[in-house]
Structure 1
Amino acid sequence: MGLHHNRLRHLRAAIAYKLLTHSPHLKILMLEARTAASGASGRNGGHCRAGWWLNFEKYAAAWGEEEAVKFEELERGNVEDVAGFVREEGVDCDFREVVTVDAFYTEGEWGRVKRDMGLRKEVRRRLGVEEKVEQKVWEGREAEEQTGLKGVIGAVGYKAYTQNPYRGKVEVHTFRGNVRAANVVLATNAYTNSLHDGLAKTGFLKPSRSQVTAIRPAEGNVLQHASIGKSIALDDKGSGDYFFIRQPGLEGAGDVLYGGGRSISPTREMGITDDSTINEAIAVYQKRSVPEAFGQDQWGKQSDEIRDWTGITCYTPDTYPLVGQLPGEQGLWASVGMDGHGMAMAFRSAEALVQLMTMGEEPEWLPKGFRMARAWEETRVNFSPHIWKPEQREGLAQL
């Protein structure tokens, strides 16, 4: 089995790990274009969170209520599986349990989220599905106090984690020679288009550059801020912004890692596969946004700018990945298109892929929307705000 350069470091490893768990006798070869963990996950914002269940109505309308529940169960379970793997294998990555918070600044979006939460609760009750997400809902002054962010009118908190973002026969042709294998898995995310012409021609996978900055106040102490121990998503800021503070006892304690800013780019950074440079306008936006979010009194007048970095992510029109065998190509498999949400989808996508490869059938818990064939369908579900133009995204949460 050949594995190429991968956007998600844990996806590549997870596929190999799950294959070997199922069949310890297998011989597995990983092929990397650069070095291990050199993709976007090696430079991510450090979040391991679910949260797309806050868009329940959208998924229910697209795939049906049962499938929407199935997806949010996968999302939640995936995050817990990653946490379990880190604990069981003793992975040294500063993995911490936190409360993650989706914060809202507009009445329209906060009203939509409350309706979505009410709908999913009713659907789960009607289907007899146990509630497994312990939610904390704050409004008004309490929302500001819990997040430490001025102007927040509502917020939803739930369990998540953070990690250290610093740290037949198929033939594969490489610059160092050719490899023949019974099965080849493309765990290549945004780079898949350059490896598979047929998939590239569908236009289903859209590469994009994502950007993060690390910054700290030159004066003041953010370790006393209300958001310490939380990861925060600023859902209706228009740029998909998010941040968290490196906690006491960790390297870089007090550093604020802030990502987002995509909407200020004329292209929304779509179509970019070069992660060797940053968008200077986004860097300026991020550095300005952090003091604004915390408030001048809390932050102070000066900032210490630590560094900026980028990674290439990959989006699909319906926000779901492609998991399975490439149509008509025996022995060629893929798990790609993680929509910047791989920490909540990739680990279980790997598990589903391995079951398909070894048992010939997909697990019952895998959402039907993950199927590979939909990339070639003329009629597609299309609501990804990463692809829609800003004027088309009015009323949509930033995924």
Structure 2
Amino acid sequence: MDQRAAIPVTLPRDNPTQSYWQLEPDEIADLRSTSSLPDKADTVIIGSGITGAAVAFNLLSNGARDVVMLEARQACSGATGRNGGHTKAASYRSFLGHQKDHGTAMAAKIARMELANIRAVHAFARDHGIKCDSTPCDTVDVVYEAAQWELDQKAVKAMQDAMPDDDAAKYTLHSREDVWEKFFCGRGGDESVCGGVSYEAGSLSAYQFGVGVLKLCLAKGLNLHTNTPALNLEKLEGGGWKVETPRGVITAGKVVLATNGYTASVWKRFQGVIVPLRGHVTAQRPGLDMPKEGLPGTYSFIYEGGYDYMIPRPKGSKFEGDIVIGGALAKAPADGLEEYGTTDDTAFNEVIMKSLDECLRKYFGDNWGADNSEGRIRKSWTGIMGFSPDGFPFVGEMPGEKDLWVSTSFQGHGMVLCWMCARALVTMMGDGDEKELDAWFPEIFKINEQRLRLTFRGRLS
């Protein structure tokens, strides 16, 4: 893993695989708000995904002006525009580890924030009329490993003991027979179902959501420059920062890195600290015997060493009924070791893609039926995530670097972390109530020198 973490992180690649969500790029995909790059700005945000958009929205809503956003490729074309669209926390799966390492109170705070993030994203989409197929719903984790099933039951009980009557600890356990009958898994395919866990989650088009937030920001005065990568940052003697791009230099009082897996390409201190990891996703047409009324919610399939996650496209959406499924990292040689350290989303790992192409027939078995006459696979693509040594995001002001701010490294868990982390960051950047922030924001997410010295050993969840 040391060798993979040491691979120099590059800027986003040209000509990436085309995301299912971007088959029709939005009208702002290549927008430059002004024909030339401004010479200066109060704040420059690097990255136009959900984190950059949320930071910009909060800054502008708090009265900030002269905010410029730089994006290396098209708007919202990184992890946000390439993930599966799953707003799902699965907090019980990390609760015991967090409880052991950081105490019950911190483990509970993380779980509460994750649920709050899910609810806030869907509420924001609803309240601002963002058309992104926002679908709050239940989810189920179908578990195929006996030891994991025992641990999951223990984790759910630990959460419910620690957080009685708290929504973040509301889980329902299902027997294997329940999984067969209610969730259509396990008969005539992979018969090794042990049980299931269901709870509150949701799905949306993260691309459409991110673009929708950006449009709100543009209406508030955001100056967006796509296809304008940040090549280098340099601290100015009198304060502030110089940001070099292929289109010229812009100076800024503050810089925000909303760059997730690409962060080390902009600020080298993160080399080997935030490690890119390539993820794979497919969109598949359902089998002809799948329930015509649709599946009851979203899914994850948990097996020894890994998992796949699955989102059925909701009624009324484009390609209604399609099944978006990603994951399968553990199916690759050495548990997907070669996927770490790469920023190459122009290509695929063929072993992982083969697993994703074949797995739905195994999971749903007799309930799948024949493949659609147009073919099972509609689209396949890859995207780059960012992972830290301790499994938590980095949020706050870069130690020793005044006015260089970061909210990044979301462990493939961005849809339940980014929104609230951005809100926290803007509070830190301004005159927000730190005491109120500490009441809900996990202290262990804040960036510090000690965390930056940790050694990356792989993903922790």
TM-score (norm 2): 0.77
* 3-state SS of 2:386 partner: strand
Which residue in 2 is equivalent to 1:350? 422
Shift of 1:191: 0.7
- Whole-angstrom CA distance in 2 between matches of 1:169 and 1:377: 22
Listed as ranges, the matches of 1:309-388 within 5 Å are: 309-359=381-431, 361=434, 363-364=437-438, 365-373=440-448, 376=451, 378=453, 386-387=458-459
- Whole-angstrom CA distance in 1 between matches of 2:453 and 2:205: 41
Equivalent residues of 2:256, 2:405 under 8 A apart: yes
Counterpart amino acid of residue 46 in structure 1: G
Which residue in 1 is equivalent to 2:148? 109
* 1:194-241 C-alpha deviation (Å, 9 max, x unpaired): 1112222xx221101101111224x6142438x713111112253321
Shift of 1:177: 1.1
Match for residue 236 of structure 1 among 293, 303, 307: 303
Which residue in 2 is equivalent to 1:160? 201
Shift of 1:25: 4.0
Equivalent residues of 2:46, 2:70 under 8 A apart: yes
* 3-state SS of 2:430 partner: helix
- Whole-angstrom CA distance in 1 between matches of 2:338 and 2:459: 8
Which residue in 2 is equivalent to 1:289? 359
* 3-state SS of 1:43 partner: coil
- Whole-angstrom CA distance in 1 between matches of 2:449 and 2:150: 32
Shift of 1:170: 1.4
Number of residues of Structure 1 aligned to a counterpart in Structure 2: 376
- Whole-angstrom CA distance in 2 between matches of 1:144 and 1:327: 52
Equivalent residues of 1:11, 1:350 under 8 A apart: yes
Equivalent residues of 2:273, 2:454 under 8 A apart: no
- Whole-angstrom CA distance in 2 between matches of 1:25 and 1:140: 54
Which residue in 2 is equivalent to 1:209? 278
Percent identical pairs in the alignment equals 31
Which residue in 1 is equivalent to 2:61? 21
Match for residue 264 of structure 1 among 327, 331, 334: 331
Listed as ranges, the matches of 1:288-307 within 5 Å are: 288-296=358-366, 298-300=368-370, 303-307=375-379
Shift of 1:285: 1.1
Match for residue 197 of structure 1 among 260, 268, 282: 268
Q: CA 1:15–1:377 in structure 2 vs 1: closer, same or farther (change >3 Å)?
A: closer
Q: CA 1:321–1:291 in structure 2 vs 1: closer, same or farther (change >3 Å)?
A: same
Equivalent residues of 1:221, 1:254 under 8 A apart: no
- Whole-angstrom CA distance in 1 between matches of 2:423 and 2:89: 18
Shift of 1:359: 2.2
Equivalent residues of 2:290, 2:368 under 8 A apart: yes
Shift of 1:133: 4.2
Shift of 1:244: 2.2
* 1:153-185 C-alpha deviation (Å, 9 max, x unpaired): 211111211113675311111111111111100
Q: CA 1:252–1:333 in structure 2 vs 1: closer, same or farther (change >3 Å)?
A: same
Equivalent residues of 2:399, 2:449 under 8 A apart: no
Shift of 1:306: 0.9
Counterpart amino acid of residue 270 in structure 1: Y
* 3-state SS of 2:147 partner: helix
Shift of 1:99: 0.9
Q: CA 1:374–1:139 in structure 2 vs 1: closer, same or farther (change >3 Å)?
A: farther
| Residue 176 of structure 1 pairs with residue 247 of structure 2 | yes
Counterpart amino acid of residue 364 in structure 2: F
Listed as ranges, the matches of 1:21-60 within 5 Å are: 21-22=61-62, 24-60=63-99
* 1:86-125 C-alpha deviation (Å, 9 max, x unpaired): 0111111111122111121122111101111111222224
Shift of 1:374: 5.0
Higher deviation after alignment, 12-21 or 241-250: 241-250
Equivalent residues of 1:10, 1:347 under 8 A apart: yes
- Whole-angstrom CA distance in 2 between matches of 1:186 and 1:239: 30
Match for residue 188 of structure 1 among 247, 259, 264: 259
- Whole-angstrom CA distance in 2 between matches of 1:224 and 1:5: 40
Equivalent residues of 1:204, 1:316 under 8 A apart: yes
Equivalent residues of 1:229, 1:245 under 8 A apart: no
Which runs of 5 or more residues in structure 2 are unaligned? Answer: 1-42, 209-238
Counterpart amino acid of residue 445 in structure 2: F
Which residue in 2 is equivalent to 1:89? 128
Which residue in 1 is equivalent to 2:213? none
Which residue in 2 is equivalent to 1:393? none
Q: CA 1:379–1:205 in structure 2 vs 1: closer, same or farther (change >3 Å)?
A: closer
Which residue in 1 is equivalent to 2:51? 11
Equivalent residues of 1:262, 1:268 under 8 A apart: no
Q: CA 1:56–1:323 in structure 2 vs 1: closer, same or farther (change >3 Å)?
A: same
* 1:269-301 C-alpha deviation (Å, 9 max, x unpaired): 111101111222211111111111111453326
Listed as ranges, the matches of 1:70-85 within 5 Å are: 70-85=109-124
Equivalent residues of 1:277, 1:310 under 8 A apart: yes
Shift of 1:69: 0.7
Which residue in 2 is equivalent to 1:2? 44
* 3-state SS of 2:382 partner: strand
Match for residue 147 of structure 1 among 141, 164, 183: 183
Shift of 1:13: 0.7
Q: Name segments (4+ residues, structure 1) moved above 6 Å.
A: none
* 3-state SS of 2:306 partner: coil
* 3-state SS of 1:69 partner: helix
Q: CA 1:56–1:112 in structure 2 vs 1: closer, same or farther (change >3 Å)?
A: same
- Whole-angstrom CA distance in 2 between matches of 1:207 and 1:149: 33
Q: CA 1:165–1:327 in structure 2 vs 1: closer, same or farther (change >3 Å)?
A: closer
